Amino acid sequence: MNSRTTLILFVIASGLGAYVWFGEKNRPSSKEARETQQLVAKVDRDKVDTVTIKTSETKIVLRKGDDNQWTLLEPVKDRADSMILNQLFTTAERLKHDARIDKPGAESDKSQVKEFGLSGSATRLTFTGKDKPLELVLGKESAVEGKIYAKVEGLEPVYVIPNELKNQISKKADDFRDRKLSDVTTSLVEKVLIKSSAGEIELEKKDRHWGLVKPLKARGDDSKVGDLIAQATTARIDSFVADSANLASFGLQEPRGSLTLFVEGSKEPSVLQIGAQPKDEKEKVYAKLSSRDAVLVLPKSVEQLLDTKPNDLRDKKLARVESDIVDRITLEPAGKEKLVIARSGENWVRKAEKEQPANTTAANALLNELKSLNVGRFESDVASDLAKYGLDQPVLKLTLSSFASENTAESKAGEKPIVSVHFGKTDGDQVYAKLDDEPFIVTVPKTFLDAIATDAIGWQPLGIYSLKPEEITAVEVQRAGQPPISLERDKDKWKLAKGDGGINQSNAQSLVNTLAGLRAVRWKGQAQPEHGLDQPALTLTFKTASNTSGKLVLGSPTPEEMTHGSADGLTGVFEINRVDKDALELPLVDKPAQAPAPAATAPAQPAQP
């Protein structure tokens, strides 16, 4: 066989192989073929835009709009329930027969034809759209419970199918109506107007935040306004009133109140009117929505919308603070020096003649706590009597600012205030406060004000010492009422500097480890007699390998089980926690073992004569 013949045979074999492979690949499996053969009709919801349901009692027509939303056209016009439509399509698309009669008109089947109930049946489901209309005709129940006869109009076979489809299309027209009150998207609402016997409340959204416009101008609570809108739009309709021409009979000629939603992209607002209560139904209320024709019966809880008060929708946060854009914290306490704490990379520093490291933890905590600080009370909506609240001469003014080091397209170089808060008199556990750019006087928890350090001492870093334990070469511990103990490092062990004795190496190393990385819990300010530092409980001095020295003094305990302390080279008094205090007070010298007591000797007996 020459090479040319071989090549031809190879091409033929390859072609046959490809044909077989593609043929087998595209051929449905026997299971798929059986399932397809069992389907009564091929329904494709994506190609259907009209659904018509006919029964002996009614005709229902539903149509899909350009926005893919379904509308009920007959017997009333209203928004359709998309979930009910989806269930109907799913049932029709998956409709399988349990039995099939291919030629019901044949001589052998004539006795059964009258039993099918398909000739002139009033129960029909029609799908109309891009393809040829498909009409399913549903007949009588079969001899098998839960099954009915059905056929496709224009085709001969009769099928025995489950009665699920017939049950779905036998519902009343109201069952196909959307029970969700409104299709308004909460995020697209730009303005809200509430009218009731108490007056009007108007809210408007700007820059993604809600604000009160009437009866006062104030920041709104985004979450609560969103909840109010959702409560109105997602309320479930209990029932529809068929004859709703006489609005007065439902208390809707002059409604008790209304909620109006102005929606982005909509020419007309959506108006919900609240009317009277139906007789003998205390938990229901009549209502009318401008986008729906019928009078609606809603749960009585919808009335709560009319009870809304302006303060219910106000932002309870003292101030809107975005921590990331704050570069300066300025504190102006009454009778004290102004403090400026500035951001420096990931840390904070205190601005003074010479820039000093600041307590970064305290700066971040202040911003976070202010961001989440809630108003206790809205005391006054006007600031006409500042002296009454101690705000004419505040005890503290707190200002947050951003800072630009150079001119940009958005801002000029320099400091730009973001928010300023004045704190006044104390009222129990609350303190009066006011923002610079708002007229309102409010209260906030006094604990927030108490936690703010108002002097340079309180803004010192919390790290008392930052050493490696191996850098410490000598320690002297003086405890109240006890002789001092002096230790020296001897390679990896500790020994007494004077005298002999056993050193508890574990305790000594624990003391040195704690001392080397000692951190304060907080700074207290200048030393006071109650801090107990004039008669210390513990004085600890140490030397390092670089020939530096330090001195730590511990005084009295606090009610929170902290201990007052001071350190050479640092200004003021701080507190350390109980764990560190206990580590610094561990016993360092092992007690010598006691020698056993000598055995008692019996008294000498007198000699016998």
The Cα-based distances of 170 to 40, 43, 604 in angstroms read 19, 20, 124
pLDDT of residue 603: 56
**Cα 248 from Cα 566, distance rounded (Å):** 80
The tokens for 387 are: 């002296």
The rounded distance, in Å, linking the Cα atoms of 492 and 505 is 10
Looking at residue 608, the DSSP 8-state letter turns out to be P
Four-residue CA torsion sign, 510, 515, 520, 526: positive
pLDDT of 362 = 95
* 480 and 556 Cβ atoms separated by less than 8 Å: no
**Alpha-carbon dihedral sign for residues 369, 374, 377, 382:** positive
Under-70 pLDDT residues of the chain: 1-36, 105-114, 405-413, 592-609
With a threshold of 0.85, does the pTM exceed it?
no
Output the CA–CA distances (angstroms, integers) from residue 138 to 132, 168, 218, in the order listed. 19, 12, 62
Measured CA to CA, the distance from residue 135 to residue 117 in angstroms comes to: 16
Burial 269-289 (b: 16+ CB within 10 A, else e): bbbbbbbebbeeeeebbbbbb
**DSSP letter at 595?**
P
Q: What's the CA angle centered on 603, arms 602 and 604, to 5 degrees?
A: 115
Q: In the numeric block, which tokens belong to residue 402?
A: 């951003």
pLDDT score for 127: 96
Residues listed for the chain:
609
Q: In Å, what is the CA distance from 561 to each residue of 361, 529, 554, 577, 585?
A: 21, 18, 13, 7, 15
d(CA 19, CA 16): 5
Query: Is the CB of residue 40 less than 8 Å from the CB of residue 159?
Result: yes
Q: Is 134 helix (H, G, I), strand (E, B) or coil?
A: strand
How far is the C-alpha of 36 from the C-alpha of 58, rounded, in Å? 33
Q: State the burial class of residue 296 (Cβ atoms within 10 Å of its Cβ: 0-12, 13-18, 19+).
A: buried
What are the structure tokens assigned to 292, written together?
Answer: 């729906």
Cα 206 to Cα 209: distance, rounded to the nearest angstrom: 5
State how far the Cα of 46 lies from the Cα of 381, in Å rounded to an integer.
57
Chain centre distance of CA 485: 57
Contacts of range 404-411, beta carbons closer than 8 Å, 24 or more positions apart: none
| Amino acid code (one letter) for 181 | L
Q: How far is the C-alpha of 237 from the C-alpha of 218, rounded, in Å? A: 34
The residues facing 37 across adjacent strands are none
What is the token pair recorded at 429?
């556990």
Amino acid at 453: A
Helix, strand or coil, per DSSP, at residue 50: strand
Q: Which fold has domain 469-590?
A: Immunoglobulin-like (2.60.40)
Amino acid in position 600: A
User: Residue 41 has which token pair?
Assistant: 């009709």
Q: What is the pLDDT of residues 412-427, one digit of tens each?
A: 667 899 999 999 999 9
Smallest CA-to-CA distance from 373 within 403, 401, 400, 402 is with 400
36-176: what fold? Immunoglobulin-like (2.60.40)
Sign of the C-alpha dihedral, residues 510, 515, 520, 524? positive
Rounded to whole angstroms, the Cα distance separating 123 from 165 reads 11
Tokens 């929708």 correspond to 313
